[in-house]
A and B are shown apart, each in its own frame.
Chain A
Amino acid sequence: MAGSNEVNLNESKVLFFFFFFIFILCGQLGFIWKLENGDFVLLFNSFWYVVKVVPLNTWVLISNFKLAYNLQRRPDGTFNRDLSEFLDRKVPANINPVDGVFSFDHVDGATGLLNRVYQPSSHNEAQWGIVDLEKPLSKTEIVPVIIFFHGGSFTHSSANSAIYDTFCRRLVNVCQAVVVSVNYRRSPEHRYPCAYDDGWAALKWVTSRTWLQSGKESKVYVYLAGDSSGGNIAHHVAARAAEADVEVLGNILLHPMFGGQIRTESEKRLDGKYFVTLQDRDWYWRAYLPEGEDRDHPACNPFGPRGKSLQGVKFPKSLVVVAGLDLIQDWQLAYVEGLRRSGQDVRLLFLEKATIGFYFLPNNDHFYILMDEIKNFVNPNC
């Protein structure tokens, strides 16, 4: 958000191409500003043009996903799961610490669900390679446990996808927390409410692990987090947890996947502009929601016409991160509004010039701003 507050964008047009021509007109005809974050704003013919530079490797990464995903979705609503699994880059867990983090996979006996657990490595090298599942994380300090739901629009990716494995490792280091990444069942093979059920199961599993307890009171300090569809799952699991009186200390929603039947202004404006199209969004909702349902289903639109207020509900505080170049931002902002109207504690981090997936590679300001915010949010002393 650095710099954007200083510019009053009364009417902003985000240009289609990442690279566009920048014109400096002589005299009074044109003005150009360089913002602190390195972007440029140009006033020309009474329109503000924001020039966005996306790092080249990020562009390559996300464009590759976009095209690969196009190949996997079929127009009839079925999904080429084999191709998807073949193309997805996966990495094994690693009990030996790498950059201060080690991981191992655990299968929940009751559900068959795989969870990948990431932990900060012990300062004592002799302990490396050994996980003691009978001792708590700490008897004195609080060690937060972040249950992470990966994105992929309910359809793509897994807990062991390389991009998410990397992200979870970063989360561990930033927050000095344990991260549990849930390998929830995906659509279209498994529609609503499978992902939420798996999320709930993971929450119950985590809260019942003694070896995830910490602090003087020996309990599991749980946060829920997720990007895209994972953010959506985090919300619904938190709602269910509130009903069941299971304590969740906070929700971190990274451009969460919400939607609705009407077409919002941001959807129309940004359709197809930054990797994502309305058409693909529609496909994924049709694949996840029960057949015949529309996007005002409360799973998709929790504060919409069929949603319900969270007034008076003991819902965790939320950190909602919205990317300014995400076409569904209007829905995400409506979600924030819905939380506020319900009297819930919500912090909005609006990153005006971020595209989806900006957090996959630590090569831009938004990434570092995000990590700072998460660190402060999960701070056990708050």
Chain B
Amino acid sequence: MVLYDSAMSAGSSSGSSSSSSSKPPPSSLQQDIDGLLAGAGYKVRSSELRQVAQRLERLETAMGNSPADLSQLASDAVHYNPSDLASWVDSLLSEFTQPPCQSEFMMDPVTNQPVVNNGWTTNEPHAPQVHQNIPYEQQNLNPQLTVVTAMEEDSGIRLVHMLMTCAECVQRGDLSLATSLIDDMQGLLTRVNTACGIGKVASHFIDALSRRIFQGIGGGGGSILGGSAYENEILYHHFYEACPYLKFAHFTANQAILEAFEGHDCVHVVDFNLMHGLQWPALIQALALRPGGPPLLRLTGIGPPSPDGRDSLREIGLRLAELARSVNVRFAFRGVAASRLEDVKPWMLQVNPKEAVAVNSIMQLHRLLGSDPTRTSPIETVLSWIRSLNPKIMTVVEQEANHNQPSFLDRFSEALYYYSTMFDSLEACTIQPEKALAEIYIQKEIANVVSCEGSARVERHEPLAKWRTRLNGAGFRPLPLGSNAFKQASMLLTLFSAEGYAVEENEGCLTLGWHSRPLIAASAWQAVSDSAAEFPTWDNRQPS
């Protein structure tokens, strides 16, 4: 009888074991071990499964972000005890450095070369590390993906169902039922993971609904809706960093503006919302490098007034001027402080009839859609004076969403879908604190869409189709964005973003979205010439 059996010598104590491999009987400490994974040779505590899953996701991201490190890791790293999956994943994670964060991107639209302004540090060479056990609490919990058990998914669905029911109650005016639904939802939230996924989005919408029910629709009270201009700028900046939507907006608009300015020696950009002026270094650089030399560039930046005596508009203008000087672009800056865009009068912009004017509106036009029936609508007023400037181009970027419908319930459900998609795309960002602050930025939008009405509700997003109709009707005609803009936008995505973002062409406009859902749309327009608009008669000294 020929028999080779390693178990004979390995000990026959396994006769009493109930597992299919000859392991010693589990000690009381190990009773929490997932039995199925144990059968596959891995010791993972059931209570730790989710964390291990999250760390696996992080590891995958880290591995994907640095393929060079990967080969080195594979050959150099010392692995210990792969059965202890949690610590194996941790030890690998500790081998990877943080991926570098390139905060200031600039692409030269002309030469297609990245132009780095603030020279970010590159990958530090990493020395192979001794296996470390990083305590769970110290880790930057970064769930990019949540794996959900059947029970939790049920809770997720119930949450959505309840949100919709609550919104319906609010629309009907049944506030007592809405209130009890809020309570139930808060309870349900404790059973889902609110760090990401449906739990996170739901918690923001529950907050917004609570706010509407308990504090009314005036938009006052509560820090989430207020916030100083300074705070808003910070949030905006982090939203800019965390995901590609604003970069796409700036990039696409700059490309169109650059093309519109061809052949002009005096150009004037009017920016409806300067913020930190993130859009303009790239344009300045591009103009510097354009064949035939740069034009004289004037930039008029509109922004909210700074309450504390700081002139933030001017500070930013100075920085941009500094940059322009360094690349030999003649540059002049003017800041226009206004709390609302409709308060701006065209004479404040001091447009010279000989300049080529570009009007740049990144997510500002929708704020003008709140209408008081007793007055001319702000949007009509503003569009009409834009026309009167006879701009060579008007670049418009807007959220691709239908958040201005008359029915609250329709708005609510649209917003739920829109912001869930946006949050989903944000999960792809791994950089903190950008991601956290970007989320607050989005949260403020949600709060405004859901809990405000009347003049307080400024986030009145409308989809591209509606803007087309509106702008066509206001005397503008579309300037199609071409395939080079599309190509560069796609390139931008591969440089900066995770899989899942998609640029699409939509009848001359470009949209950026997450998977099949466009979330932001960029378009360019020109005023239809008529004799009244041909030569503006504004005089610098004359108020309108």
Q: Are A38 and B18 in contact (CB under 8 A)?
A: no
Q: Are B74 and A163 in contact (CB under 8 A)?
A: no
B10 — which chain A residues lie within 8 A by C-beta? 92
Whether a CB of chain B sits under 8 angstroms from the CB of A26 is: yes
Q: Are B14 and A24 in contact (CB under 8 A)?
A: no
Give the interface segment out of A93-101, A185-193, A319-327. A93-101
Whether a CB of chain B sits under 8 angstroms from the CB of A290 is: no
Whether a CB of chain A sits under 8 angstroms from the CB of B188 is: no
Whether a CB of chain A sits under 8 angstroms from the CB of B500 is: yes
List the B residue with the shortest CB-CB distance to A76. Answer: B71
Query: Which B4-53 residues sit within 8 Å CB-CB of chain A?
Result: 4-8, 10, 12, 14-15, 17-22, 34, 36-37, 39-42, 44, 49-50, 52-53
Query: Which B436-455 residues sit within 8 Å CB-CB of chain A?
Result: none
Give the interface segment out of A10-18, A144-152, A232-240, A296-304. A10-18
Query: Which A199-254 residues sit within 8 Å CB-CB of chain B?
Result: none
Q: Are A98 and B19 in contact (CB under 8 A)?
A: yes
A54 — which chain B residues lie within 8 A by C-beta? 147
Interface range, B side: 35 or more
State which of A16, A21, A24, A47 has its C-beta within 8 Å of the C-beta of B161: A24
Q: Are B63 and A21 in contact (CB under 8 A)?
A: no
Whether a CB of chain B sits under 8 angstroms from the CB of A83 is: yes
B85 — which chain A residues lie within 8 A by C-beta? 60, 64
Whether a CB of chain B sits under 8 angstroms from the CB of A312 is: no
Whether a CB of chain A sits under 8 angstroms from the CB of B495 is: no
Known: A162-B41, A361-B40. A57 touches B7 (CB 8 A): no
Q: Are B149 and A131 in contact (CB under 8 A)?
A: no
Q: Are A18 and B4 in contact (CB under 8 A)?
A: no
A90 — which chain B residues lie within 8 A by C-beta? 41
List the B residue with the shortest CB-CB distance to A89. Answer: B41
Q: Are A64 and B79 in contact (CB under 8 A)?
A: no
Query: Which B130-168 residues sit within 8 Å CB-CB of chain A?
Result: 145-150, 153, 156-157, 160-161, 164, 168
List the B residue with the shortest CB-CB distance to A170. Answer: B20
Whether a CB of chain B sits under 8 angstroms from the CB of A133 is: yes
Whether a CB of chain A sits under 8 angstroms from the CB of B532 is: no
State which of B22, B153, B421, B424 has its C-beta within 8 Å of the C-beta of A94: B22
Contact with B along A270-294 (1 / 0, CB 8 A): 0010000000000000000000000
A296 to chain B, nearest CB (A): 29
B362 to chain A, nearest CB (A): 27
Query: Which B68-86 residues sit within 8 Å CB-CB of chain A?
Result: 70-71, 73-75, 79, 82-83, 85
Q: Are B50 and A56 in contact (CB under 8 A)?
A: yes
Q: Are A105 and B6 in contact (CB under 8 A)?
A: yes
Whether a CB of chain A sits under 8 angstroms from the CB of B465 is: no
A59 to B73 Cα, complex, angstroms:
24
Whether a CB of chain A sits under 8 angstroms from the CB of B56 is: yes
List the B residue with the shortest CB-CB distance to A98. Answer: B20
Give the interface segment out of A66-74, A260-268, A346-354. A66-74
Q: Are A67 and B56 in contact (CB under 8 A)?
A: yes
A166 to B70 Cα, complex, angstroms:
31
B148 — which chain A residues lie within 8 A by C-beta? 18-19, 53, 56
Q: Point out which of A21, A55, A272 has the most chain B C-beta atoms below 10 A from its C-beta.
A: A21
Whether a CB of chain B sits under 8 angstroms from the CB of A122 is: no
Q: Are A56 and B71 in contact (CB under 8 A)?
A: no
Q: Are B49 and A80 in contact (CB under 8 A)?
A: no
Q: Are A21 and B424 in contact (CB under 8 A)?
A: yes
Give the interface segment out of B215-223, B385-393, B409-417. B409-417
Q: Are B36 and A165 in contact (CB under 8 A)?
A: no
B12 — which chain A residues lie within 8 A by C-beta? 96, 129
B156 — which chain A residues lie within 8 A by C-beta? 19, 21-22
Q: Are B416 and A104 in contact (CB under 8 A)?
A: no
A16 — which chain B residues lie within 8 A by C-beta? 499-500, 515
Q: Are B40 and A133 in contact (CB under 8 A)?
A: no
Q: Are A131 and B20 in contact (CB under 8 A)?
A: no
A234 to B156 Cα, complex, angstroms:
43
List the A residue with the shortest CB-CB distance to B86. Answer: A60
Contact with B along A93-120 (1 / 0, CB 8 A): 1111011010111110000000000000
A62 to B346 Cα, complex, angstroms:
62
Whether a CB of chain A sits under 8 angstroms from the CB of B295 is: no
Q: Are B49 and A91 in contact (CB under 8 A)?
A: no
List the A residue with the shortest CB-CB distance to B22. Answer: A94
State which of B3, B40, B420 has its C-beta within 8 Å of the C-beta of A21: B420
Q: Are A133 and B60 in contact (CB under 8 A)?
A: no
Q: Are A133 and B2 in contact (CB under 8 A)?
A: yes
List the B residue with the shortest CB-CB distance to A99. Answer: B20
B470 to chain A, nearest CB (A): 23
Q: Are A89 and B83 in contact (CB under 8 A)?
A: yes
Q: Are B52 and A60 in contact (CB under 8 A)?
A: yes
A370 to chain B, nearest CB (A): 16
Q: Point out which of A32, A54, A101, A162 has the most chain B C-beta atoms below 10 A from its C-beta.
A: A162
B519 to chain A, nearest CB (A): 14
A376 — which chain B residues lie within 8 A by C-beta? none
State which of B7, B60, B145 has its C-beta within 8 Å of the C-beta of A17: B145
Q: Point out which of A44, A51, A67 has the most chain B C-beta atoms below 10 A from its C-beta.
A: A67
Whether a CB of chain A sits under 8 angstroms from the CB of B337 is: no
Q: Are A95 and B149 in contact (CB under 8 A)?
A: no
Q: Are A56 and B53 in contact (CB under 8 A)?
A: yes
A106 to B8 Cα, complex, angstroms:
13
Q: Are B145 and A19 in contact (CB under 8 A)?
A: yes
B161 to chain A, nearest CB (A): 5
Whether a CB of chain B sits under 8 angstroms from the CB of A77 is: no
B79 — which chain A residues lie within 8 A by C-beta? 83, 86-87
Whether a CB of chain B sits under 8 angstroms from the CB of A368 is: no
List the A residue with the shortest CB-CB distance to B35. Answer: A57
Whether a CB of chain B sits under 8 angstroms from the CB of A362 is: yes
Whether a CB of chain B sits under 8 angstroms from the CB of A379 is: no
Q: Can you give 6 A-B contacts (C-beta < 8 A)?
A: A21-B417, A23-B416, A55-B149, A56-B148, A83-B74, A91-B41
Mark B residues whose CB is within 8 Å of A. Answer: 1-8, 10, 12, 14-15, 17-22, 34, 36-37, 39-42, 44, 49-50, 52-53, 56-57, 59-60, 63, 70-71, 73-75, 79, 82-83, 85, 89, 92, 145-150, 153, 156-157, 160-161, 164, 168, 197-198, 201, 409, 413, 416-417, 420-421, 424, 499-500, 515-516
5 further contact pairs, Cβ within 8 A, besides A26-B413, A71-B74, A98-B17: A17-B145, A21-B160, A23-B417, A53-B153, A66-B60
